[in-house]
Structure 1
């Protein structure tokens, strides 16, 4: 399947514009509500979801979409999806609410349970990352596109860690892989840091959802890395009956 990469990047940008209209409000008190699991939901999530679903459906009418804000598709229906889009309209809602700018728009293409293309856009930084299986991974900053790849370091590695979900279980994993330093960043940008060689290891202990990880995994793997279930060696796959992820390990070597 030939992807219209520019059109998909434009969709992430348009979703980012919808998010920024809410982000630039002086007061968030009228836009923050809570889901059943008490994670924050904003008008920005909903606005970005509408943009992405509308434009992706127009561009690829025969490919179904699973989105965080439209996830209630019965497993008996979606289990037959050989290929589908997996979307997180606003990844890093806590970063959004805390106004640190480290939130993203994520779009991934899943083929037979594996992410084969990923597109991530950071609206505040106006920066894109994307990767396609069998091709390469790229970063676009101020209109300039560059190819990115993992470090493949064998020592003195750097770990990237969550600002919102740090865990003590990380320490054993990072010691095992000779991490001597760490950086902290929000949302799916952690995958991107490994993909572009600014970090080497990303371990997440505890639950995420499939739409949180798919685009980042596609980009990291296109850049030469790997994402494993728990601490390996089983690969990380998608469209499970329960869309909750296990722990996972992203490596840039």
Structure 2
């Protein structure tokens, strides 16, 4: 399996790449080849006064490549120019990546308003599973907030086809995941199941599947606003990563700022693994 790891050469990106535990977790789920991608914005060019971008970039990528290679991965580097999320998606498609990884400093009042953040734009447009690796905020030398990427998983489901596809990721995660908590949020706007079917029973069936994989599993049905209730479950269970599907019923739906998956990307305390449609 191949993964794209997007880096802007910031301290946050460095924390994602240089975490030994995170690299070990990627190895456990079958990642063998990592492609480091750096996108140079169109308004940044060589020779800008005061900063030697090219020298800094080459030095950082060389260091990152050595760290990842030393952990047994094959590594390729890509330096491209353009709009970050479009170029990252393009490379992921070209190489046939199974996963795109990006570090994020996490929620803040400003980030909740800024629509142009790379992580948010990727969550809207990616056709590959996206892992948002949460990094410490407000420190000059940040570290990842969750050392183990997949050890404790929170899985949020509305029983849609896309949620089912997201659940299938547990077959990849079984060698890295020890515990899982499944949650379904009932809401009048989106009942999720045909009338007469029991969400508790459906969750119990999913839990039994994970138990067969050797993953200790609990589950619950909640009621209320989906985003708020999923985040409340995250606060209680304290997972290393929340796994959620992005419905993508239509192009318009994917662009709506109020979508549950995008809300989780922005507001979650820990990592988020977002699985878009068509990933079966």
TM-score with structure 2 length normalisation?
A: 0.30
- Structure whose residues are more often strand by fraction: 1
Determine which structure has more spread, i.e. the larger CA radius of gyration. 2
Q: Which has the higher helix share?
A: 2
TM-score (norm. length: structure 1): 0.32
